[in-house]
Each structure stands twice: as structure tokens, then as C-alpha cells.
Amino acid sequence: MGYYVMAEINPARKDLLPDVRVVLLLSALMILSTYSYAQSNGMAKSDALSPHVISVFGTPPDIPTGDLSPDVKAAVDIVFKDSLANGGWGKSQAAALDVIAQSNDPRLAWPIADLMRFISQQALMADLGGATQTLLDIEIKDGRYWGSTTDHLMAWNIPAPPDYLDYKKGIFTTLIPGWENIFREGNIDWRHVSWGGVLIDDRPYDTTDEPCNCIPAADNPTVTQAKDATWPKDNDIVFGIQVNGEYRAYPRQIMEVREMVNDTLGGRTLGIPYCTLCGSAQAYFTDALPEGVMRPVLRTSGLLIRSNKVMYDINSYSVFDTFTGQAVTGSLAQKNIKLEQATVVTTTWGEWKSAYPETTVLEERLALGKNFDFKNNRDANGPIFPVGDVDPRLDVHADVVGVVTDAGKAIAFDRRKAMLELQQGETVEQDGIELILDAGGIKAVSESAENISSHEAFWFAWSQFHPDTVLWPN
């Protein structure tokens, strides 16, 4: 297999270009060891799976239960720690990989998949992929070893091996400062977390203009009155938000570059994540929290969970579920902090400023010179990153308007069908929630005509974070 030398990443070298650092990461992480586990005595069947999962992914293998044997656990520690400390992949690692492949323990495919995410050397990737194919009893013909392996693991809900988070944290934090504070126990399924290909935004608050090797959030963004804004085209997509009678448009061109905005609108503070992979812009109030809780300042971690961004608070390093606003790790999770959502209306700049001429819009300079062509086909063949099984009631990239009622019921409205109904003057209602037209977009109101938070997303994203969602029309 050869021997790979670990490259040193100096966190102080902020002058390194993003692609250079990524190359260094990929090169360095080639050497990470995999883990030698053995089959435990018991065998368990995977949880009951839907016929759809079986039809798409086949029948899962039997899964061992219980702890790893002492000998195998010792081998795991030796191979993993030695590889990290000495920076090499040699015969002992290759032998350990063979032990893994012959262990009949599908759980071991999880740490191998984590390692594969960082591998660019084709021969090593093929060896790792061969091991996961043996473990899962699958055949991968297209060379998508990491993606296919992870999709099967997710769809089959294969459990993680003992001490999985420790091993995963070791892989992810070896070279990237900041993630050591991210990988902590909590109400998050670490099996589903992968690297998104970018580095963590760990800049302090209000450093919008400070360059970084990351996706840079915008804090306290500068804005322009609609009458003075000449840069947005009328057909440009914007995400419109209204708080206490104050209106603001967040152009998609800017949100594609920033992916996170910490702002103040209508006298309230907001954290506004945009997941390009999910087609979802959301807005969370970051004030009105319990006494003693500092305002969360949201940042992009560089991690994904089932192709959805993982956001965190730079002050506490608590991770938040981007789709629910619930803190899932760290001190804010211990305090059970859940952020209140505001409605986000997806529409065009022309429609938004016509309906709300008093609106402001983010300044063009925040796009950092980027001008995306949104007719690209990057998602034409499905999500780029593994998501496992997808609820078959809609196409994976169907747009839905998502709502969670006060009682906690999740409802998704097929946006295309809802828009046609609304434009024809029909009523679109489900379980006491009604959709109405707003500035060329759609928002939800309750039976009492009060606004209820709603936003758009791709179906695969909404349905996986709200697996019990009601779908309109049903």
C-alpha cells in the first residue's frame, strides 16, 4: 500500500488558500488507521425495515451485539493511536484492515466510512471500499465507495461499534482545530455526521470582513433601503423575513456565500442559516432566552448530518439541530435550549420590494464578488452527500413548505401543488394550518390567522428530520 507522511497544518497560517489546506488535509488523512474489531458472541437482526428500504438497498446482514473482545480492542487502540502518532500506513494497518473485513461485524463499516471521506488515494480507497463491501455483503460497481457504504449504513440503521465517538473524534480532529470542541456526547446521531469539504468558521463575533479558510458568516450585515438598492435583479431569489413590522430581504447570492447571518431585525436578534444542499433558509430568534444564557452566535461547522449543515454556537460550542433549533450538545443542550423560529418567505426581489417597499436588503459587497448561476445541475441526480433512505412519497428534491404546529406536529405542503391551488383562489389547509400567498411566496397561518413559523426545504431534508411528518395533499 505504500507509506504516507503526515502533513502539518499550522492553524496560524490564515494566509493559506482554502484549496491548499484541503489538499493538505486530504493528503494527511490518508494515513489514518482503520480499526480492528472482532465479532462478538451474540448476533442481532437489524430493526424492522420498511419494504421500500429493502427494495432499494436489499436485506441487511446480521449484526453482532456486545463489546469487542479484549484482543481486538487492544489491536484497535494500537493501530489507531500508532497511525496518528507516527503518521503512517504500513503492513500492520493493511493486516488490521483484513481482520476487519473478515470479522463479520457490519458495525465496523462506520469508522471505515469516516476514514474514506478523507481519502483521495485511489488504491487505498479501493482497499477500504473492499472491506466495507465484505462487511455489508454489498457490491459497489460505480466506485462510490464512501457514498454507497454510508447510504447502506444509514438506510439499514446499522448500529455503531463500541467507543465509536472516540474513534470518530480522533479522525476528524487530528488536523482541524476547533472540531475537538464539537465532537461531544449529546442528543445527536454521530453516525450520520460527515465532513462537508470545508473548514470550521471559528472567528469571533462581528468579524464579517475578516478573511478565513471557511464559509464566512456575516454578522451585523450592512443593508440598503429598497429605493436605493440597484444591484439585485427583480427575478433574483430572496429570503424575506418580517419581525415587528420591519422587513428585510436576504438575497440567495449572498446566502450561498455566507450560509449564516447573525442579524438584528425589528428589535430582535436572529441567527439565519442557509443550507444550500437542502434548499432551506431558516431564521431563529437568538434572544429572549433564560437568564444567564448568552446570545448564541451561530456559525458553520464544516460538518454535515445527512446532507444538512451542522451549525454551532461560537460562544459555547453547543451544536444546534439546524432544522429544529434544538441545542443537541454542550451547555445549551444541558439547559434544553430550543430557539424559536421566524417565518422565511422564499420569493423574488421584485415581488418582495413591491409588497414591502419599506424593506431593506443586504448590500452587494457581502457576496464577495460571487455571482452564482442557479441553473446549475449539481443536484440533478439526487443529494450530493449520503442521506440513506428517503421517504418515497415525494421526489427527493421536491420543494415543500414545512410547518411545526404548537402541538409539535410536523406538516409538509407540496409547494408546487399548493402554489397552483392558491393562485386559483383555493384554500390550502391541513390540521388547522393554512397557507397563504405573501409577496409572491407562501407562508403559513394558524386557524386564528396568526402567523406560524414556516420555511421551504427539499423533501429529503424535511422528511428525514421530521420522519413522522404529515404530507399535504395526503
Q: Kindly state whether residues 146 and 275 are assigned to the same domain.
A: no
Q: How confident is the model at residue 80 (pLDDT cuts 50, 70, 90)?
A: low
Q: Kindly state whether residues 81 and 130 are assigned to the same domain.
A: yes
Contacting residues for 332 by C-beta, under 8 A, at least 6 apart:
293, 296, 313, 316, 318, 320
* Tally of domains in the chain: 3
The Cα 219–Cα 428 span in angstroms is: 37
Considering the domain boundaries, does residue 184 fall inside one? no
Per-residue pLDDT, 175: 65
The Cα 90–Cα 376 span in angstroms is: 42
Q: Kindly state whether residues 346 and 403 are assigned to the same domain.
A: no
| Residue 55: all three cell numbers together | 427494495
Q: Kindly state whether residues 287 and 236 are assigned to the same domain.
A: yes
From 145, 175, 205, give the residue that closes a domain: 175
Considering the domain boundaries, does residue 187 fall inside one? no
Check whether 109 has a pLDDT greater than 90: yes
From 175, 208, 235, give the residue that closes a domain: 175
Q: Which domain holds residue 456?
A: 399-472
- E-state strands within 62-176: 63-65
Contact predicate 346/283, CB 8 Å: no
Q: How confident is the model at residue 236 (pLDDT cuts 50, 70, 90)?
A: very high
From 367, 391, 409, give the residue that closes a domain: 367
Q: Kindly state whether residues 170 and 38 are assigned to the same domain.
A: yes
Lowest pLDDT segment from 3-7, 63-67, 223-227, 323-327: 3-7
Give the tens place of pLDDT for each residue, 24-76.
343 344 333 333 322 333 445 555 899 999 999 999 999 999 988 787 777 77
Considering the domain boundaries, does residue 128 fall inside one? yes
Q: Kindly state whether residues 250 and 326 are assigned to the same domain.
A: yes
Considering the domain boundaries, does residue 422 fall inside one? yes
Contact predicate 46/152, CB 8 Å: no
How far, in Å, are 78, 108, 134, 158 from residue 96 at the CA level? 10, 12, 14, 21
Give the tens place of pLDDT for each residue, 251-287.
999 999 999 999 999 999 999 999 999 999 999 999 9
Considering the domain boundaries, does residue 390 fall inside one? no
Per-residue pLDDT, 31: 34
Per-residue pLDDT, 235: 96
Considering the domain boundaries, does residue 180 fall inside one? no
Q: Kindly state whether residues 39 and 121 are assigned to the same domain.
A: yes
Considering the domain boundaries, does residue 450 fall inside one? yes
What value does the mean pLDDT take over residues 463-468? 94
Per-residue pLDDT, 377: 47
The Cα 443–Cα 454 span in angstroms is: 6
How far, in Å, are 280, 325, 428 from residue 433 at the CA level? 20, 21, 8
How far, in Å, are 32, 269, 297 from residue 207 at the CA level? 34, 17, 12
Pairing of strands 246-251, 360-362: parallel
Q: Kindly state whether residues 109 and 61 are assigned to the same domain.
A: yes
Considering the domain boundaries, does residue 196 fall inside one? no
Q: Kindly state whether residues 250 and 168 are assigned to the same domain.
A: no
The Cα 109–Cα 64 span in angstroms is: 13
Contacting residues for 256 by C-beta, under 8 A, at least 6 apart:
274, 276, 370, 372
Q: Kindly state whether residues 456 and 354 are assigned to the same domain.
A: no
**pTM for the full predicted model:** 0.87
Give the tens place of pLDDT for each residue, 391-413.
999 999 999 999 999 889 999 99
Q: Kindly state whether residues 23 and 158 are assigned to the same domain.
A: yes
Q: Kindly state whether residues 147 and 258 are assigned to the same domain.
A: no
